[in-house]
Amino acid sequence: MDSSLHTSISSQLRYFAPSEVAAHNSRGDCWVSLHGNVYDLSNFSFKNNRNILQPVLQLAGTDVSHWLDYDQTNTTESLQEKHRIKTYIDPINCLESTYAQDGEILRVISEEPRCNWQGTMPWWEDDSLIIGKLSSKACKISIKNATTGQEDVLEVPCEETIAQIKDRYWAYNGHGDSYLWICARLVADEVMFEELDLSLTLEQNGVMGSLDVDGNLNICSEKRMPVIYVQFADDLSVL
């Protein structure tokens, strides 16, 4: 089965590691992150003049939170209320002007009369462009197949549940639903295997302090990482 056809609970809220956002850095594949949200500006970018697009294209795949102020004390769900364009007083015309150190920001209405101003909703206020959240921390984990011995290393956001990590694993094993997801723990000097709760994160499942079968403590770092085991179940949920 094609993994693109796989439907899961993780589709409700997706987190992206900074490295995932960084991979989308071209005119036709343009992502940016802004104050914790990840925006897909790919389709939007095709509709705009390349000169106006230049600031976004130059920073495609990166975080552009420095473009806008963000009111963290505002409890409203409205992005319009939370975001504020940075401004300054222009010394020449004494008007309050947009402060855009990287160039003109898309969909910002000019303070002066212009023939090419864009009077539409600013992209950062458009909920339809938000495709997920930027992870506050990403780590690498090892997923070991107890049946075949195959080992795969994935970079995952710390906010993701095991079910969401399971979705990522589809790229490596299209039969992921036919496996039990377990971790090893040291109990009374014995290594015990315990099935993971798919609705919880790595930390909530206690995986960050789990052991591999060799008894070595795995932590979230470059060389030593959490280990999850997948063990083939009797029933075939994927044909």
Question: In the chain, where are the structural domains located?
Answer: 18-134, 138-232
Instruction: Please count the CA atoms within 13 angstroms of the CA of 119 that sit on its side-chain side.
Output: 4
Determine the pLDDT at residue 178.
84
Nearest to 212 by CA among 186, 230, 187: 186
pTM for the whole structure: 0.72
Q: How many CB atoms lie within 10 A of CB 130?
A: 15
**What's the topology of domain 138-232?**
Ubiquitin-like (UB roll) (3.10.20)
Determine the pLDDT at residue 109.
46
pLDDT per residue as tens digits for the range 102-113: 555 655 544 444
* 155 contacts 168 by C-beta, under 8 angstroms: no
* 56 contacts 32 by C-beta, under 8 angstroms: yes
Determine the pLDDT at residue 217.
43
Regions of the chain where pLDDT drops below 70:
1-13, 45-52, 72-82, 97-120, 208-224, 234-239
Alpha helix segments (H runs only) across 40-144: 42-45, 50-58, 79-82
Nearest to 233 by CA among 197, 166, 179: 179
What 8-state DSSP symbol labels residue 182? E
Determine the pLDDT at residue 16.
95
Segment (H or E) for 19: helix 18-22
Determine the pLDDT at residue 155.
93
Instruction: Give the C-alpha separation, 60 to 53, whole Å.
Output: 10
Q: Give buried/exposed letters for 192-204 (b at 16+ CB in 10 A, else e).
A: eeeebebeebbee
Determine the pLDDT at residue 120.
60
Six-digit token string for 68: 């806008």
pLDDT per residue as tens digits for the range 163-183: 999 999 988 888 777 889 998
